[in-house]
A and B are shown apart, each in its own frame.
Chain A
Amino acid sequence: MAADPNTTAKPSTRPSERVSFASLTTNNLGTVRKLNSVLFPIKYSEKFYKDILAPEVEEFCKLIYYNDIPVGTVCCRIETKDDQGRLYLMTMGILGPYRCLKLGSQSLEHIITSASAHAKPKITKVYLHVQISNPDAKRFYERHGFEETGIEQDYYKKIEPRDAWILERKISPSD
Chain B
Amino acid sequence: MPQGPAAGSAIPAKRALPSKESTLFKDLLSHYESRQLKKGHKIADQILKKFPEHGETLCMKGLVLTHMGKREEGLELVKKGIRLDLTSHICWHVFGLIQKGEKNYDEALKSYTQALRFDKENLNLLQDAANLQTQLRLFDSLQETRHTILRLRPNVRRNWVALAVAYHLGGNLEDARNVLEQYARTLKNIPDYDTEHSEVILYHIRLLADLGHNADALALLDTSAKSRAVVDRMSIMEYRARLLSSTGAQDDAAHAWRALIEHNPDNYAYYRGYLSAKGFDIDNLPEVKTPEVLKILSELGEQMPKAAAPRRLALDVASGTEFTTLARTYILSALRRGIPSLFADIKALYTDPAKRDAIERVVTAFYDSLSNSASASTPATHLWTLYFLAQHHSFSPSPPSPPSPPYTHALTLIHTALAHTPTLPELHTLHARILKRAGDPYGACAALEEARRLDGQDRYVNTKSAKYHLRCGMLEEAEGVLGVFTKKDAASPGADLEDMQSLLYMLEEASAQNRLNRPGLALKRYLAIQKVFDDIYNDQYDFHSYSIRRFTINIYLNLMSFEDKLRAHPAYVASSVEASRIYVRVHDDPSVATASTSIANMTGVAKKAIKKAKKAAFKAQEEPKKGLTQATSNEDKGLEPGPAKDEDPEGIKALGVKDPIEQAWKLLKPFATPTQNSLDVWIAVYDVSVRRQKYLLAAKALLKARGLKGEDGELHIRIVDFKQRVSSLPQLPADPIGPALASALALILPDELALETYNSQYLQRHASSAASVLAAAKVAHNLHAPIEEVEDLLFRLTTPEVNDDIKSGLATHAFLVKLGSRRADEFRQGCDDRYVLSTVFKTPEEIARLRAPPAQGMSDGDEPPEGQ
Interface hits, B516-536 → A, CB 8 Å: none
Across-interface contacts of B337 in A (CB, < 8 A): 15-16
A144 within 8 A of B: no
A157 within 8 A of B: yes
With beta carbons under 8 angstroms apart, the residue of A27, A48, A71, A98 that contacts B457 is A27
Across-interface contacts of B857 in A (CB, < 8 A): 37
Interface hits, A71-124 → B, CB 8 Å: 71, 88, 90, 95, 97-98, 101
Q: Is the CB of B455 within 8 A of A27?
A: yes
Across-interface contacts of A132 in B (CB, < 8 A): none
**Chain B proximity of A21: nearest CB distance (Å):** 15
| Interface bits A1-28 vs B (CB < 8 Å: 1, else 0) | 1000000000001111100000001111
Q: Is the CB of A70 within 8 A of B423?
A: yes
C-alpha gap A70/B380 in the complex (Å) = 11
Q: Is the CB of B867 within 8 A of A46?
A: no
C-alpha gap A156/B863 in the complex (Å) = 11
Q: Is the CB of B858 within 8 A of A33?
A: yes
B743 within 8 A of A: no
C-alpha gap A156/B456 in the complex (Å) = 33
B783 within 8 A of A: no
C-alpha gap A46/B421 in the complex (Å) = 24
With beta carbons under 8 angstroms apart, the residue of A13, A34, A101 that contacts B422 is A34
Contact A90:B421 (CB < 8 A) given known A30-B453, A30-B454, A45-B860:
no
Q: Is the interface of B mostly helix, strand, loop or mixed?
A: loop
With beta carbons under 8 angstroms apart, the residue of A28, A43, A68, A155 that contacts B862 is A43
Interface hits, A39-70 → B, CB 8 Å: 42-46, 48, 66-70
Q: Is the CB of B422 within 8 A of A14?
A: no
Q: Is the CB of B868 within 8 A of A90?
A: yes
Q: Is the CB of A71 within 8 A of B421?
A: yes
Q: Is the interface of A mostly helix, strand, loop or mixed?
A: loop
Q: Is the CB of B380 within 8 A of A30?
A: no
C-alpha gap A175/B405 in the complex (Å) = 59
Contact A97:B382 (CB < 8 A) given known A30-B454, A43-B858, A71-B421:
yes
Across-interface contacts of B859 in A (CB, < 8 A): 43
**Chain B proximity of A173: nearest CB distance (Å):** 27
B336 to chain A: closest residue by CB? A15
Q: Is the CB of B858 within 8 A of A14?
A: no
Q: Is the CB of B455 within 8 A of A31?
A: yes
C-alpha gap A30/B452 in the complex (Å) = 8
With beta carbons under 8 angstroms apart, the residue of A17, A34, A44, A48 that contacts B423 is A34
With beta carbons under 8 angstroms apart, the residue of A31, A33, A45, A88 that contacts B867 is A88
A169 within 8 A of B: no
Across-interface contacts of A97 in B (CB, < 8 A): 379, 382-383, 420-421
With beta carbons under 8 angstroms apart, the residue of B336, B424, B452, B455 that contacts A69 is B424
Across-interface contacts of B376 in A (CB, < 8 A): 13-14
B398 within 8 A of A: no
B674 within 8 A of A: no
Q: Is the CB of B863 within 8 A of A69?
A: no
Q: Is the CB of A95 within 8 A of B421?
A: yes
Q: Is the CB of B338 within 8 A of A45?
A: no
A73 to chain B: closest residue by CB? B423
C-alpha gap A74/B857 in the complex (Å) = 21
**Chain B proximity of A71: nearest CB distance (Å):** 7
**Chain B proximity of A37: nearest CB distance (Å):** 7
**Chain B proximity of A102: nearest CB distance (Å):** 13
B829 within 8 A of A: no
Q: Is the CB of B862 within 8 A of A35?
A: no
B424 to chain A: closest residue by CB? A69
C-alpha gap A44/B774 in the complex (Å) = 55
**Chain B proximity of A74: nearest CB distance (Å):** 14
**Chain B proximity of A80: nearest CB distance (Å):** 16
A138 within 8 A of B: no
**Chain A proximity of B332: nearest CB distance (Å):** 11
With beta carbons under 8 angstroms apart, the residue of B420, B422, B453, B862 that contacts A45 is B862
B865 within 8 A of A: yes
A100 to chain B: closest residue by CB? B379
**Chain A proximity of B698: nearest CB distance (Å):** 56
C-alpha gap A44/B777 in the complex (Å) = 59
Across-interface contacts of B124 in A (CB, < 8 A): none
C-alpha gap A33/B455 in the complex (Å) = 11
B12 within 8 A of A: no
B864 within 8 A of A: yes
Q: Is the CB of A14 within 8 A of B453?
A: no
Contact A67:B338 (CB < 8 A) given known A45-B862, A97-B379, A97-B382:
yes
C-alpha gap A61/B404 in the complex (Å) = 46
For the complex with contacts A42-B862, A88-B867, 9 further pairs of A-B residues with Cβ separation under 8 Å are A16-B337, A25-B457, A27-B456, A27-B457, A38-B422, A66-B380, A68-B338, A98-B379, A101-B378
The 4 closest A-B pairs by CB, nearest first: A27-B456, A30-B453, A97-B379, A27-B457
Chain A residues in contact with chain B, CB under 8 A?
A: 1, 13-17, 25-28, 30-31, 33-35, 37-38, 42-46, 48, 66-71, 88, 90, 95, 97-98, 101, 129, 155-158
Could you pull out 5 A-B pairs where Cβ atoms are within 8 angstroms?
A17-B378, A28-B456, A48-B868, A90-B868, A95-B420
